[in-house]
Amino acid sequence: MSTRTPLMAGNWKMNLNHLEAIAHVQKLSFALADKDYDAVEVAVLPPFVDLRSVQTLVDGDKLKIKYGAQDLSAQDSGAYTGEISGAMLAKLGCSYVAVGHSERRQYHGESDELCNAKVKAAYKHGITPILCVGEGLDVRKAGEQVPHTLAQVDGGLKDVPAEQVESIVIAYEPVWAIGTGEVATPEDAQEVCGAIRGRLAELYSQELADKVRIQYGGSVKSGNIAAIMAQPDVDGALIGGAALDVDEFVKIVRFRDQ
């Protein structure tokens, strides 16, 4: 029986300005009860410009909700126009940062090498990376989803030491299931999440692999989360669209009630 606490993280993507973020987090924290946080870790990943407002709210009201960013720079500081460093995110109290989301890989050309540098930058500043991996439709149709995804895991974790990796979160997000309503079956999710855990055992140890939380992401909703969470190697979800609806997100957090 796994002792891993599920992590339900809402990736807001480029939605909700800082005023909307305050209203959203207030509503969310009001809806969640202490027993929810006992069972599940809850996090939101707002846009950068919302983070200071979310920090002020979370600190001021001593909320149990965690928060983080959707990306970070691989660099610490300097002439990198438009970039945000891990040090800046740490100062804002971020617990998590997504690395290598498929939208960053697709629209910003992020490679496994860059993701690896970002994972290291996150750890350097004490922030837990959520390393996002997953195949596109062509790869899925060719039946190559496992080797494709494991290559992304290998690339993202290259030379990252065990004492850091044991706290990492890996999000398996098949690209064809993101924002399409096309959810992977629970068995599809388990196949790749189980393979990721197996790879962690090969690269590090079974003990480490058993500690790492592996999320599923892609069209997660209150109606499909329970079956996905019933899979032995799925330890939470990275939720896009459904996380923008507080009631829906709360139902996802309470997946055990269904």
Ligand X SMILES: O=C(CO)COP(=O)(O)O
Interface residue list for ligand X (CB under 6 A): 11, 101, 173, 178-179, 217-220, 238-242
Nearest CB to ligand X, comparing residues 126 and 179: 179
Query: 41, 110, 135, 173: which one is catalytic?
Result: 173
Contact in structure between 7 and 236 (CB atoms under 8 Å): yes
Phi, psi of 200 (to 5 degrees): -60, -35
Write down the least CB distance from residue 206 to ligand X, Å.
28
Q: Please give the structure tokens belonging to residue 22.
A: 């305050």
Question: Which residues contact residue 35 at a Cβ distance below 8 angstroms, ignoring those fewer than 6 apart?
Answer: none
**Cα 156 from Cα 167, distance rounded (Å):** 14
13 carries a ligand binding annotation: yes
Give rounded-to-5 percent helix, strand, coil for the chain: 50, 15, 35
Q: What is residue 216's three-state secondary structure? A: strand
Query: 24, 41, 101, 248: which one is catalytic?
Result: 101
Question: Does residue 173 carry a catalytic annotation?
Answer: yes
Q: How far is CA 163 from CA 187, 209, 212, 215, in A?
A: 30, 12, 11, 20
Nearest CB to ligand X, comparing residues 173 and 188: 173
Q: Which residue is nearest to ligand X (CB)?
A: 240
240 carries a ligand binding annotation: yes
Nearest CB to ligand X, comparing residues 112 and 173: 173
Nearest CB to ligand X, comparing residues 178 and 208: 178
Contact in structure between 165 and 207 (CB atoms under 8 Å): no
Write down the least CB distance from residue 154 to ligand X, Å.
21
Write down the least CB distance from residue 248 to ligand X, Å.
10
Question: Does residue 24 carry a catalytic annotation?
Answer: no
223 carries a ligand binding annotation: no
Instruction: Extract the annotated binding site for substrate.
Output: 11-13, 179, 219, 240-241
Instruction: Extract the annotated binding site.
Output: 11-13, 179, 219, 240-241
Q: Which residues are catalytic?
A: 101, 173
